[in-house]
Structure 1
Amino acid sequence: MQKLRLQGLMPVVERLYQLDSQQGLRLLETWLLDRLKSQPPANSRITTIVQAIGELQLSPQQLGATLGFTRRTLERKLKREVGVTPGQLVAYARLNRARHGLLATTLPLTEIALQCGYYDQAHFTHAFQTLAYETPAAYRKRKLSQIYKA
């Protein structure tokens, strides 16, 4: 099983040498998401939890309370089953929602930040840059210029 995982990873690793750091991170993210999608769900309850957190329906604390878990128990179960914590799922869900908002609307960054659950634009910009390695404004500018070139 380990050998199969590494065989699927080797073409990705070889390609990483040809890319800059941002492109490499996107390639790894895409590969990991594809791997997660191709894996049969270990437990339908865990799948439901991941979807609920990913869609920002409930906070990890609320979801844990609903399921009869403490926040810590929920974190341990998700980390063991999925490999990420509820906080990481929320961060990536917000990032994906923000990416969509940056490209699909002309709303100011402050509005997008509030819609994605950030306290203010500064918090949004910092979190976005931490995960995406570029500011929201730079992301919007880069992606829109790619769209209009095509």
Structure 2
Amino acid sequence: MNAQYAGNAAAYFHLPEARILRSTSLQNEDITITRLTATKNTVNLTDPIPPANAFVLSLQLQPLPRHELWLDGKREPVTPYGCGAISVVDLAARPTAFLPTAFDCIQFYLPQATLDQLAAAEDRAPIRELAVPHGAHDPFVESIGKLLLPALSEARAPRLFVDGIIVALHHHLAARYTGARVREPQGPGRLAVWQVERVKAMIDAHLDESLSMPQLAAACELSPSYFCRAFRLTTGIAPYQWLLRRRMEKAQEMLAKTDTSIAEIAFRCGFSDQSHFTRTFSRMTGVPPGAWRRPR
């Protein structure tokens, strides 16, 4: 495995260390999401990436008018990429690229072992090859990229948010680019009352911890992708949005009824630090926590 690339992809492009989001809910190597940005003549030739049993999916956030790609030392035919274009390289092919122009992209590092585990959870065949034409336009992946941009700017996001993105991306890639027929789950499409109550209880009991999507899905005896869809259909919001709402409700209760410090409230409610809590609270209520607390 090539965890070095997953943890610091920017180094291979001669770029400063980039912010990284991780999906760490599985027992295998992390799936990582990194934004790489360079101005003209910053990169030119990348360092060779050591072979790894993993794919890298790239989404272009601006046009890439010129680049060259080598796989196993052989030049790969590529064309200019437009904004929203995607491409996939298998790191087993030891890719190297020539990038003389400015670029801005999001990279998804997808290790094979973790993809296998996701496939097993969904009871489907594992992804062995991704037949993605270089420069293909994929509105679904593009929409995922737009959702990720705010989180990538801070490199902070609830685990349930990142897990939900990865579960949806895995389902999409398997259905569109593997040639295998992906069975849609059968059932009423909504969670049963006992499932909703179990999930809510788990979230309330772990507001200060990082629950994973597979944990919640397993508690409901469902696959992760089915659980995500059913939870949204049942409650009207995604699991990570429910978690954030409950964290905010607990924080407001502590602000109103206790003299606990704002830093301690941030810690108890699962925020990474006081500044992160203050930004989130201000965005959701319109005022910072200290100002919200005073009249109460």
TM-score interval, normalised by the smaller of the two chains: 0.5 to 0.7
Aligned to 2:194: 45
Q: Which amino acid aligns with 2:232?
A: K
User: Which structure has more helix as a fraction of its residues?
Assistant: 1
Whole-Å Cα distance in 2 between the matches of residues 139 and 71 of structure 1?
A: 37
Q: Which amino acid aligns with 1:47?
A: V
Paired residue total: 103
Whole-Å Cα distance in 2 between the matches of residues 53 and 131 of structure 1?
A: 23
Gap regions ≥5 residues in structure 1 = 1-41, 145-150
Aligned to 2:211: 59
Q: Map 1:1-150 onto structure 2 (within 5 A).
A: 43-52=192-201, 54-57=203-206, 59-61=211-213, 62-142=215-295, 144=296
Deviations 1:2-52 (A, max 9, x none): xxxxxxxxxxxxxxxxxxxxxxxxxxxxxxxxxxxxxxxx73134314522
Deviations 1:96-133 (A, max 9, x none): 00001111111111000001111100111111112212
Helix, strand or coil: the match of 1:55?
A: helix
Gap regions ≥5 residues in structure 2 = 1-190
Helix, strand or coil: the match of 2:294?
A: helix
Whole-Å Cα distance in 2 between the matches of residues 113 and 80 of structure 1?
A: 30
Q: Assess, with a 3 A threshold, how the Cα gap between structure 1 residues 59 and 105 changes in structure 2: closer, same or farther.
A: same
Identity of matched residues, % = 26
Q: Which amino acid aligns with 1:44?
A: V
TM-score, normalization: structure 1? 0.59
TM-score, normalization: structure 2? 0.32
Aligned to 2:94: none
Q: Assess, with a 3 A threshold, how the Cα gap between structure 1 residues 49 and 133 changes in structure 2: closer, same or farther.
A: farther
Q: Which amino acid aligns with 1:133?
A: G
Whole-Å Cα distance in 2 between the matches of residues 49 and 72 of structure 1?
A: 18
User: Which structure has more strand as a fraction of its residues?
Assistant: 2
98-107 or 68-77, which moves further after superposition? 68-77
> RMSD over aligned Cα, in angstroms?
2.3
